[in-house]
Amino acid sequence: MTVLRAAIRFLYFSIMTLRDNSQVVSFNVDSLLIQNLFNARVFVIAPILAVPIFLIGLVVAWRSAWVNFEQYRDYNHNEEGDDRFATVKEIHQQYKKVPNKTETYPGEGGVPVLHETRKNLTGLTLKSQMLWQNRTFSRYLTNAERILGLLSTPSGDYYIDDSTTNLITMGITRSGKGEAHIAPIIDINSRAEIQPSLIIADPKGEHYQSSYKTMRRRGYDVNVLSFQNMDWSMSYNPLALAIAAAKKGYYEMTQTRVNAVAEAIYRKTKPGSGNGNAKYWEDTSISLFNAIAMALMDRANETVRNGETDAWDTVTVRNIAKFLTDLGSEEVFVNDFGEIVENPDKNQQVKKKSKITVYFDNLRKINQEQFSKFRDMADLNFRSSDFASEETKGNVFSSMMSGINLFLQDNIAKLTSKNSIDLESVGFPRRLSIKFRSSSNVAMRNEYTHKTAKVTITSQAVWGKTTKQVIHVDAATALIDGEGYLTYVIEPQLPDQFLVTIDFNHENNGGSAIRHKTFQFSAEKVYKKRGNVITLDDYTKKPVLDHIKVTVLNKQDDNLLQKEDIDLIYSDNPKVIYLVTPPNRTEYNSIVSLFLDQLFNANYELALSNGRKCVNRILHILDEFTNIPAIPHMDTKISIGLGQNILYYLWIQNLKQLVSEYGENTAETIRENCSLKVYIKSTAPATNEYFSKELGTRTITRRRRSSNILDEANPNVSIENPRQELLTPTQLSKLQEGEAVILRGVKGRDNAGRKITTDPIFLHEKTSLP
């Protein structure tokens, strides 16, 4: 306004001086000073001029601002989707941070969901290797680390999901599954303060070779079930669990466990397939397998009673196959009494029967004279497979034989003839089993059956000059089963010497005669020695436990509890079992499938009756999961296992493989029970589309500009808000090395206890996995 007034004054006097040239008019330059811009006195000095001009300028400015606001404002209100990836800050708040190598950390292990490099020399080396693979530069940095002694220094940190959850990962061959995912998971979990037991499917044996010494140094008992070099493999008898049940007189459990082995071997028909003919041959093969197995159990049980303690070693799958080949392939003549006739006369009435049928006929006769539950079970199972004609029986025998032909190979027969692994010790490394009886006469009723006992475990600790009692287990209740066995899982680790007290003074026992009974025995760890020197482990430098020495202290008058009645299994070390299955020998994979089935069943059943949870978390790390023949009832296992602390981490190449091996319904159950779904890279369109859809969509703003060449200053701008996938199937198929997408299912709260939304995680650039 000041400038306008000065301009008007200058024009006015300029016009006036046209008549008088002697006068000189000059423009007031001071009006251009910035301080006059906000000079409000002009509204007082010249209100007639200032107020209208100000109002006109205000309207013009407001109109111009409104036009620009309407043209460029954000119309995006997420109408088409508001999905997004989780931020790095959110991941920091939601997950546990652990060093990426060497160091032990508190708590349990888990799955890495993000990685960050540290700002040190080792972190710089790792970052250079991740970004450029500059071998020359990284070699200099690695040498510098070696000189400075920094090779074991963590170069970064993982953020891990340590909750009890299942994982499924998709990645094609050579996508970096092993180096970026499987190896770190093995390393992270083995470094945890609370170490899990690990079951590692290792098709090529690479993880076993690279991590054996490390696992030993970290205190693991290392076992390997190898079909690549069976001379170096542990032994595994699929019937070991059934034998253990038979030794204790658990007849129904023995039958159940034998049947589970038969189901795993012969049941190939997928649920709902409707192939009745195939199911018939499977059912008859299973019944015949059960019959022969129970017959071998019966013979071993009778032989042990006669003093041959190693008779149970004859109960193997190979001997079942040999039993069938020896007796099922031959036919003999029998008379009306069922007796074998070597050379029948022409007029003698005889009929042909297979030797195996004659064997079970004689077994029935013996059982009528001297009853045995094993013989009865064997006979019932054989009769259920014996409805066919003699001609059809040959087909039944052939069908059964085809399932166990593999066990006739010398190397497999040797591997399965013994059993060096206690499957229950994978989840329960410390267990106590005691046989109680109220009379030496087995025909009399056992007063201890179905009673309740209290288990107390104590030790003595020296504190200076005083000795104090330390209570490790305080009057924990335990039930005596129908055969008189007390089975108790010991959770805490115990000292070298401890005292176990079993007290039956429990209200559940009512007025029973055994309520006043109390049993005590001491236990002492006995370590291996070379001469008088205790042997130290080559890797941990700790004493190697040989066995637990048990001494019964307060022997009762009836003297019915003997040292032989007490079975104390003890170990402080978690287990790792490598399953080495050569990719070119797929016929061996069926044994691995059977092993995994038995491992789950053994630990799940024990967990149900002892605290409902495994003492050691059991973590299955199964690479190339779909190369293993379908594990029986895998959908059920993965659904119920988490409650018992049994976890599955699965790696497959694409979703189609899972459907092909397990069927559509079972595959969907397996997939949906994995809370974490990780995508590395795939060329399968269905897999890429599935992950792209699960990631969700976001709303974007798209502007379209059109204008007339004669009026380019006033373009026509239209705005749209379409949906866009967070990552399209094509983008997913082009993920770079180290990148991954993680879909999260169940993650309710962050580390501070606040509720969260489980947005997917996109690992890329600085957060890529090394």
pLDDT at 575: 95
- The torsion angle over the Cα atoms of residues 413, 416, 420 and 422, rounded to 10 degrees, is 180
Distances from the Cα of 5 to the Cα of 15, 36, 629, angstroms: 16, 12, 96
Among 594, 652, 510, 568, smallest CA distance to 236 is for 594
In whole angstroms, what is the distance from residue 93 CA to residue 753 CA?
Answer: 10
Cβ atoms within 10 Å, residue 438: 18
| Amino acid identity at 472 | H
The three-class DSSP label of residue 286 is helix
Secondary structure (H, E, C), 695-730: HCEEECCEEEEEEECCEEEEEEEEEECCEEECCCHH
The percent of residues above 90 in pLDDT, for the chain, comes to 43
Strands (E), 270-312: none
Neighbours of 448 (CB within 10 A): 24
**Residue 208 has which token pair?**
């076993």
| C-alpha dihedral sign at 737, 743, 744, 745 | negative
What backbone phi and psi angles, to 5 degrees, belong to 273? Answer: -75, -25
Residue 192 binned pLDDT confidence (cut-offs 50, 70, 90): very high
Ranges 29-33, 480-484, 722-726: which has the least confidence: 29-33
Q: Give yes or no for a contact between 433 and 567, defined as CB atoms under 8 angstroms apart.
A: yes
Measured distance CA(258)–CA(660) in Å, rounded: 28
Question: What are the structure tokens assigned to 175, written together?
Answer: 């996508």
Q: pLDDT tens across 449-468, in order?
A: 899 999 999 999 888 788 89
Pair 58, 9: CB distance under 8 Å: no
- Look at residue 412 and give its three-state secondary structure: helix
Give the Å distances, CA to CA, from 717 to 72, 706, 711, 722. Answer: 9, 6, 14, 16
Q: Tell whether the model's pLDDT for residue 344 goes beyond 80.
A: no
Least confident of 34-48, 272-286, 358-372: 34-48
Instruction: For residue 110, name the pLDDT band (cuts at 50, 70, 90).
Output: very high
* Contact yes or no for 353/332 (Cβ under 8 A): yes
How many C-beta atoms surround the C-beta of residue 529 within 10 A? 12
Strands 96-99 and 697-699, bridge-based pairing: unpaired
Nearest by Cα to 296 from 280, 307, 312: 312
Predicted TM-score (pTM) of the model is 0.86
User: How many Å apart are CA 729 and CA 526, to the nearest integer?
Assistant: 61
Per-residue pLDDT at 742 exceeds 80: yes
Token reading at 220: 């693991």
Domain annotation for the chain: domains and CATH numbers: 88-118+154-234+575-767 (3.40.50.300), 240-415 (no CATH), 430-569 (no CATH)
As a three-state string, the secondary structure of 133-186 is CCHHHHHHHHHHHHHHCCCCCCCEEEEEECCCCCEEEEECCCCCHHHHHHHHHH
Q: What is the CA radius of gyration of the chain?
A: 40
Q: Single out the residue of 31, 165, 66 nearest to residue 675, CA to CA.
A: 165
| pLDDT, average across residues 542-557 | 85
Strand partners, 340: 334
How much is the pLDDT for 167?
Answer: 95
pLDDT band at 131 (very low <50, low <70, confident <90, very high): confident
501, 458 Cβ separation under 8 angstroms? yes
What is the pLDDT confidence band of residue 72, given thresholds at 50, 70 and 90?
Answer: low
Which two three-digit tokens encode residue 552?
């019964």
Tell me the mean pLDDT in the region 307-322.
89
